[in-house]
Amino acid sequence: MTIVRLGYVAMSKYVKNASPSQTMTFKQFETIRDREAAIRKLERISLDNLHNTLRILKHNRASDIFFYRLTSRLIPLANHQELLDWHYMKPLRKKLIEIGNYVKQHHMRIDFHPDHFVVLNSIKKEILKNSILTLRMHYLLLKRMGINPEHRCVIHVGGKYKETERSLERFIDNWMLVPRTIQQMMMLENDDTSFTLDDTLFLCEKLGIPLVFDYHHHLAHHQKDNWTENWERIVQTWKHSPLPIKMHISSPKSKEQMRHHADYIDVDMFFRFLKEINGSVPQIDCMIEAKYKDAALFRLMKQVGMREDVEVMDGGAFRLK
């Protein structure tokens, strides 16, 4: 039956002093009078972020976790308008190759989820331009790692601007301005306030983009209660992908804070989803979006191990019976 592989986002609760998202603001950058010295400091921070990323990947390997979301904050100020002459990839080349080699050696799946400021359906040309520039950075990071960028970057549809249909049409129009290589990197996710599963599925089918189904988001914001009616269509958006279908799993913090992510995963809620899709796909990769990161994954696997309807495969994967 279906294999379920778990992953988590960016930070580890177990690997100490290993933030891959250390940063520097532009205001801090400006306080360093020697511009070259300031750039060297940016490069040191970036290298430290990459070093910590590798430490986390090694922790993942030791814990049988083969699915992981890289932070999009690896390189601070990478696309700042005042630093467009900074060729940041060159000093990072060796460390990026080291990370890529480790990922490939251990058959890990890594990907990105850029912050909310990446808005491809923006009504402002400057925001669209910066969004494409940010996506290009993600593409180059994957290329420098030697990782095939195809379907490695998930984003939301963008802004609703009080008119859903026009906002969807604008996404299609702006999509044509995105370079083909970056288009091939993209996945789309339904969100919890603006674009439902049905809206997102419309774009994915029309443009040939895989859909990352966020179960929590759907429960918080939907047009149809019964998402299972669309499940086969979701699966079909992945038919040309070299990767297994991917979803996001999180749980509401409370009934009053439905949209906020809880510290851990509600195992019963997760299995309500899994029981519906069991057997429909050979494997599904589930990205845990919980506040407690890998600690949430470990706790979930412990709970899974006590169930009779699964076969545990390793520390980060199980097979549904």
pLDDT single digits (tens) 55-64: 999 999 999 9
Radius of gyration over every alpha carbon of the chain, rounded to an integer in angstroms: 20
For residue 82, CA distances in Å to 26, 29, 116, 141 come to 9, 11, 22, 21
Same domain, 157 and 263: no
Q: Is the pLDDT of residue 116 over 90?
A: no
Same domain, 143 and 203: yes
Q: Is the pLDDT of residue 104 over 80?
A: yes
Q: Which pLDDT band, with edges at 50, 70 and 90, does 223 fall under? A: confident
At 229, list the tokens.
Answer: 């009616």
- Residue whose tokens read 């989820």: 113
Same domain, 289 and 218: no
d(CA 70, CA 54): 10
Same domain, 293 and 213: no
Q: Which amino acid is at 266?
A: D
Q: Is the pLDDT of residue 225 over 80?
A: no
d(CA 205, CA 94): 39
At 61, list the tokens.
Answer: 């390997």
Q: Judge contact between 99 and 46, C-beta under 8 A.
A: no
Specify the pairing of strand 3-9 against strand 317-320: antiparallel
What torsion do the CA atoms of 135, 141, 147, 153 make, to the nearest 10 degrees? -30
Domain boundary among 194, 212, 244: 244
Q: Total domain count for the chain?
A: 2
Indicate yes or no: pTM above 0.75.
yes
| Environment class of 168 (CB within 10 Å of its CB; exposed 0-12, middle 13-18, buried 19+) | buried
d(CA 207, CA 217): 22
Q: Judge contact between 49 and 22, C-beta under 8 A.
A: yes
In the predicted model, what is the mean pLDDT of residues 140-156? 98
Can you give the residue range of the structural domain that contains 181?
112-244
Other beta carbons within 10 angstroms of residue 197's beta carbon come to 27
Q: Judge contact between 2 and 282, C-beta under 8 A.
A: yes
Domain boundary among 244, 265, 282: 244
d(CA 93, CA 141): 9
In the predicted model, what is the mean pLDDT of residues 105-119? 96
Q: Judge contact between 102 and 57, C-beta under 8 A.
A: yes
Other beta carbons within 10 angstroms of residue 31's beta carbon come to 8
CB neighbours of 145 closer than 8 A, spacing ≥ 6?
96, 97, 99, 100, 103
pLDDT tens string 236-293 = 999 999 999 999 999 998 777 877 889 999 999 999 999 999 999 999 999 999 999 9
Whether 98 is in a domain gets the answer no
In the predicted model, what is the mean pLDDT of residues 7-27? 96
d(CA 206, CA 210): 11
Domain boundary among 224, 244, 264: 244
d(CA 130, CA 117): 9
Same domain, 219 and 121: yes
Q: Is the pLDDT of residue 224 over 80?
A: no
Same domain, 117 and 197: yes
In the predicted model, what is the mean pLDDT of residues 214-224? 90
Other beta carbons within 10 angstroms of residue 199's beta carbon come to 22
